[in-house]
């Protein structure tokens, strides 16, 4: 079966996304991407001239995926508490990967933040997507003046417990903390 231009490009992005997550951006070489995709180096250069260009595409793809997920939650769940619970469920359902590799957004931002990579701001925007979405959920529950602080609190707890689960190699830490967050969400009253 012959692949199209778009399929080949997406295959490269998917492979790089996985490798950047599991190994880190700096520890993933162009050769690693070649090996993982099975696509010849010259063919990859046809789509991406540099590893930085691949990173740009990975960040943009993650942003599209997250926007689509959040939009689907907004459409499917009328109660903002249910949408917040879906966020908690997402963290819990990914606890095995979080334990093994850390948070894909947090790990990337930490790595890029240690260097003056030009991608630092675009990687941070992945967190901004969740921060802004969580802020909107909390604003829908009333007290919009506290919505952003609550969003950052929830995002910080989720990111922090992802790190602790990774450090201690214990997915149950993630599940237990997110259960506490779920209990907190249950106490929130709609406006």
Note the pLDDT tens digit of each residue in 123-148: 899 999 999 999 999 999 988 999 99
Q: What is the pLDDT of residue 146?
A: 93
**pLDDT single digits (tens) 27-72:** 999 999 999 999 999 999 999 999 999 999 999 999 999 999 999 9
User: Alpha carbon of 129 to those of 67, 83, 122, 136, 160: distances in Å?
Assistant: 7, 15, 11, 11, 18
Tokens of 50: 């540099």
Distance from C-alpha of 96 to C-alpha of 32, rounded to nearest angstrom = 24
> 7, 9, 19: which is closest to 30 by C-alpha?
19
Distance from C-alpha of 188 to C-alpha of 191, rounded to nearest angstrom = 9
Tokens of 73: 């939650």
Q: Which residues contact 73 (CB under 8 A, 6 or more apart)?
A: 83, 86, 87
Distance from C-alpha of 1 to C-alpha of 65, rounded to nearest angstrom = 27
Residues of the chain above pLDDT 70, percent: 96
- Secondary element (H or E) of residue 5: helix 5-23
Q: Which residues of 85-101 are buried (b: 16+ CB within 10 A; e: fewer)?
A: bbbbeebbebbebbbeb
Rg of the chain over all Cα atoms, to the nearest angstrom: 18
Q: What is the pLDDT of residue 27?
A: 94
Q: What is the mean pLDDT of residues 87-104?
A: 97
CATH 1.10.357.10 assigned to domain 5-187? The reply is yes
The pLDDT confidence band at residue 1, using thresholds 50, 70 and 90, is very low
């Amino acid at each position: 079966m012959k692949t199209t231009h778009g399929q080949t490009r997406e295959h490269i992005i998917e492979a790089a996304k996985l490798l950047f997550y599991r190994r880190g951006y700096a520890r993933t070489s162009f050769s690693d991407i070649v090996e993982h995709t099975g696509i010849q180096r010259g063919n990859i250069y046809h789509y991406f001239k540099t590893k930085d260009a691949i990173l740009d595409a990975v960040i943009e793809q993650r942003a599209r995926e997250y926007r689509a997920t959040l939009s689907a939650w907004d459409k499917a769940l009328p109660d903002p508490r249910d949408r917040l619970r879906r966020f908690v469920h997402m963290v819990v359902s990914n606890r095995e990967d979080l334990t093994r590799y850390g948070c894909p957004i947090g790990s990337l931002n930490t790595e890029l933040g240690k260097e003056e990579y030009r991608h630092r701001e675009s990687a941070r925007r992945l967190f901004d997507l969740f921060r802004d979405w969580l802020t909107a959920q909390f604003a829908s529950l009333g007290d919009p003046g506290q919505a952003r602080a609550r969003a950052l609190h929830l995002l910080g707890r989720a990111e922090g417990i992802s790190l602790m689960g990774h450090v201690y190699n214990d997915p149950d830490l993630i599940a237990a903390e997110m259960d506490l967050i779920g209990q907190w969400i249950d106490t929130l009253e709609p406006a």
